[in-house]
Structure 1
């Protein structure tokens, strides 16, 4: 009972405790920019890889699912339209999957920072999420250009894109806090998370429309916050429609829940990290 009350008190104090991240915003900015530049340091094409990766994946999956398997989105038979629908899912999913997989080794590869008493170790998962989302913004720029060429044009609903990014940031950071902490104590979480994200990629309607899922399994999409976020991108960019109330409430509620629980768990366990490194 006392543990439950303590956890509840921690959740209530989350807004106050989150001031820590605001206090260390300069450290987050410096780390994020450093890690983003490090990804392309020494490569010939540099930041162009951030565009090439989703583009090449889109071409490969379009060939398999559109040409070979004849999967279609909506009423269009055009492989080009399929490719843009696909990219609406790949761009956010790639950032999400990369972020949570990398979170599993985040603490173990940063022992010097973790063992520093004055360093706010809780900013590391935030920094990781921001780096992957910078990559996502580059892919999103490519996606918007393709929508203008292939789609029916952009509507004012694209003003909601920052809201979608905020929901994904909260969801991804919350999960990263959880996985970064749990992987310190249970190293097998890294392998388990890699398998789970692969499974979730095919459960999430990225390569196919939600209508292809049998009705009795449709609840899996409803429970999946990333499926809701992908659906919101597609409604706004490809259909010119606002997200549904169900999508907003479920994605928003789950993102807030993971953000709060992840932050509380990470802060309650971070003091034990040096003993396991």
Structure 2
């Protein structure tokens, strides 16, 4: 563990510059460049806010706004976008950086941090856009927003651990990318993001307890949509699972270190 920390500190400028380059490359040939980082989430949030709410007039109990459904939906999308963005970036951590790993002595521990950094910056821009839209809809921020850094940290740790596991598996089994894509679709629809938990039959809600992403998404919705503190016990359980996943992921990277370079 101390060796990993030394690598992170020693390559901190490489990590920061790589995150910057990762973000710039997204819009390298675009006329508006980095503005798309703000335009895209603003358009997405606007569609949710004005089409789904203003047209469908969907309402939810506990949110005193005619745009209640859009507020609820967008809160869950914020958590999902961070999870999906970082996980998909992590999937090709080693496969996509094969030449870098072969030609340079870059510690592998730096690669997931680059994926985390790029995904976090994108998500913070989306958060800024969401807060602006919420304010325009009359759903202003509250002191409960101070929970968001904690929720992001738990979600990032969980995604980091899971990302390392699938990244290693993807080196040796290239079908992993297709499997992850299918599992992601299932997780999205089996997590109450676009629908409230209340519409699920009570005898089926029990199974949601085994979906760690549900607890994090529910915490986001509690803080952003309902402006209430999140449930701490489920969040603590997810944090514990996240730490175990991180330990497993780093152990797999260390165990398969030599073989990965040969396979790549």
Q: TM-score, normalised on structure 1?
A: 0.84
CA change 1:68–1:158 in 2 (3 A) is closer
Contact 1:84 1:146 in 2 (8 A): no
2:196: which partner in 1?
209
Cα displacement (A) at 1:63: 8.0
Cα displacement (A) at 1:18: 4.3
Cα displacement (A) at 1:153: 3.0
Contact 1:81 1:151 in 2 (8 A): no
CA change 1:86–1:157 in 2 (3 A) is same
Is the aligned partner of 1:252 residue 2:242? no
Is the aligned partner of 1:268 residue 2:232? no
Is the aligned partner of 1:170 residue 2:157? yes
Encode CA deviations 1:186-222: one digit per residue, 9 max, x unaligned.
Answer: 0000000011111111111110112222223323332
Encode CA deviations 1:36-71: one digit per residue, 9 max, x unaligned.
Answer: 111112212322322333344445567886689876
1:237: which partner in 2?
224
Is the aligned partner of 1:121 residue 2:108? yes
Is the aligned partner of 1:134 residue 2:134? no
1:193: which partner in 2?
180
Distance in 2 between the 1:252 and 1:78 partners? 32
Contact 2:41 2:129 in 1 (8 A): no
Encode CA deviations 1:67-111: one digit per residue, 9 max, x unaligned.
Answer: 898764325596622112111111221231122123222322212
CA change 1:203–1:63 in 2 (3 A) is farther
Structure 2 residues not aligned, in runs of 5+: none
1:224: which partner in 2?
211
Aligned residues: 264
Distance in 1 between the 2:207 and 2:15 partners? 35
CA change 1:219–1:18 in 2 (3 A) is farther
Distance in 2 between the 1:221 and 1:54 partners? 28
Distance in 1 between the 2:212 and 2:36 partners? 28
SS in 2 for 1:40: coil
Contact 1:73 1:208 in 2 (8 A): no
CA change 1:76–1:162 in 2 (3 A) is closer
Q: TM-score, normalised on structure 2?
A: 0.88
Q: Cα RMSD over matched residues?
A: 2.6
